[in-house]
Amino acid sequence: MFVLITYDVATSSEGGVKRLRKVAKKCLDHGQRVQNSVFECVCDATTLAQLKIDLREIIDEEHDSLRFYILGKNYRNKIEHYGIKDSYNVEGTLMF
Amino acid sequence: MFVLITYDVATSSEGGVKRLRKVAKKCLDHGQRVQNSVFECVCDATTLAQLKIDLREIIDEEHDSLRFYILGKNYRNKIEHYGIKDSYNVEGTLMF
């Protein structure tokens, strides 16, 4: 299942910069960054449930905002990109 | 149909700050801001097509990134939010 994760972390609040880094790192464990605070993940329901728990533990719900958008399995024709960093196959093999 | 619009505008590039402001303003004409560069819109296909044209004319495709995610009609159970600025009914009546 394809999930889009977007977040705003209040870097001006105490510990905000550290939270921002940790949120990005946790999202990178499961997906690919497509914009500064926008990540695309393909994962199963169990992994997503755990990722939500992990991310909620990192953010400060008084200051930060975290959103999940579930696009499901047939997501490829639901996404359009214009500009730099063209889209890529989030399920494609990563070449290192 | 529900559409999520996310963007990264290179404010460090020439005219970037102005582009950022114009992109946000154009998105506000059609939807609601849920995070700094994340907007939720409910619109028909014709309006979306025009919005894409308008936004592509604003951004600099050499420096900026603009993404559209189509969640369709049954979107309410596909969105989860944690933290500040709780979600709202994007089709709800706006109270001024």
The answer to whether residue B82 scores a pLDDT higher than 90 is yes
pLDDT tens per residue across all 96 residues of chain A: 999 999 999 999 999 999 999 999 999 999 999 999 999 999 999 999 999 999 999 999 999 999 999 998 899 999 999 999 754 555 554 433
CA dihedral A67, A72, A75, A78 (to 10 degrees): -60
Confidence (pLDDT) at A85: 73
- Domain covering B2-72 in this structure, CATH number: 3.30.70.240
For A2, phi and psi rounded to 5 degrees? -90, 130
Q: What is the pLDDT of residue B91?
A: 57
Q: Which residue in A has a C-alpha nearest to residue B66's C-alpha? A: A82
Which of A55, A74, A84 to mutate against chain B (most B CBs within 10 Å)? A84
Q: Out of A52, A65, A84, name the one closest to residue B35 (CB).
A: A65
* Complex ipTM: 0.87
Contacts of A86 (CB under 8 A, 6+ apart): none
In chain B, pLDDT over 90 holds for what percent of residues?
A: 84
Question: Helix-strand-coil percent breakdown of chain B, rounded to 5?
Answer: 30, 30, 40
Query: Which backbone phi and psi does A24 adopt, to 5 degrees?
Result: -60, -45
Size of chain B in residues: 96
The domain locations on chain B are 2-72
